[in-house]
Chains A and B, each alone.
Chain A
Amino acid sequence: QVQLVQSGAEVKKPGASVKVSCRASGYSFITHGLSWVRQAPGQGLEWMGWISAYNGDTNYAQNFQGRVTMTTDTSTRTAYMELRSLRFDDTAVYYCARDGEVAGLFDYWGQGTLVTVAS
């Protein structure tokens, strides 16, 4: 079955960087793109960007352009999301989500990774 397993919780200081991983299994990795979605405490879902697992093309939401980098490693079937220059309001749960067969659908989600930015 399809599974997306993310790395564990992180605590970072303001100004630092964090890199979250998302390891895929149960399907052909390169056939589905992956998005990253975050959720601040008590808030809604915010789409951060997308990466093609086939060729590494990316599409970042404007709010994160210049601060985020999404990559994949096809040899380990893992996607990565690095966020730089962390601020207190970057504290959130970060999810990876797989593209579904229908346009725009996120059919499988990782379990989420809590990133806490604290001094």
Chain B
Amino acid sequence: SYVLTQPPSVSVAPGKTAKITCGGNNIGDKSVHWYQQKPGQAPVVVVYGDSDRPSGIPERFSGSNSGNTATLTISRVEAGDEADYYCQVWDSGSDLHVFGAGTKVTVL
């Protein structure tokens, strides 16, 4: 089955840039979606289709995807960005949805 690999945690100072990676075999051929989840809340899409942002999501959130790695970048990090972030793809070969294990972003 398809596996997505994320770092367990990322720490970043306010105002700096956080990069969260999501590794998978030829993930560049897939459409990657990123979700933010704060404690006690349901996940929310922050980036979809590799690099698109839903309305209402700040431009500070951006995504890229190439080769074996997709990346979520949070620029000018704010305290409110502290959350768990999950990457997710639909593996068309197996017709299954797969989530990464999640990355906890801590704002120092």
Contact = CB atoms under 8 A, between A and B. Distances in A.
Given A102-B49, A104-B97, A112 B42 contact: yes
Q: Select the residue from A35, A37, A44, A111 with max chain B CB neighbours within 10 A.
A: A44
Contacts of A107: 45, 48, 54
B2 to A, nearest CB: 11
Secondary structure dominating the interface of B: strand
B42 A44 contact: no
A3 to B, nearest CB: 12
Contact-residue size bin, chain A (C-beta under 8 Å from the other chain): 20 to 34
Contacts of B42: 95, 109-112
Nearest to A95: B42
A44 B22 CA distance: 14
Contact of B97 (A50, A110, A111): A50
Contacts, number: 63
Nearest to A46: B99
Interface stretch (B12-20, B64-72, B75-83, B88-96): B88-96
Nearest to B37: A45
A47 B97 contact: yes
Given A61-B96, A109-B43, A110-B42, A104 B102 contact: no
B98 A106 contact: no
Contacts of B90: 103-104
B99 A104 contact: no
Contacts of A106: 33, 35, 43, 45, 88
B3 interface: no
Q: Select the residue from B30, B42, B52, B88 with max chain A CB neighbours within 10 A.
A: B42
26 contacts: A35-B97, A44-B99, A44-B101, A45-B43, A45-B86, A45-B99, A46-B99, A47-B98, A47-B99, A50-B97, A59-B96, A95-B43, A100-B48, A102-B31, A102-B33, A102-B52, A103-B31, A104-B30, A104-B89, A104-B90, A104-B97, A105-B33, A105-B48, A106-B35, A107-B48, A111-B42
Top 3 closest pairs, chain A to chain B, by CB: A104-B90, A109-B42, A47-B97
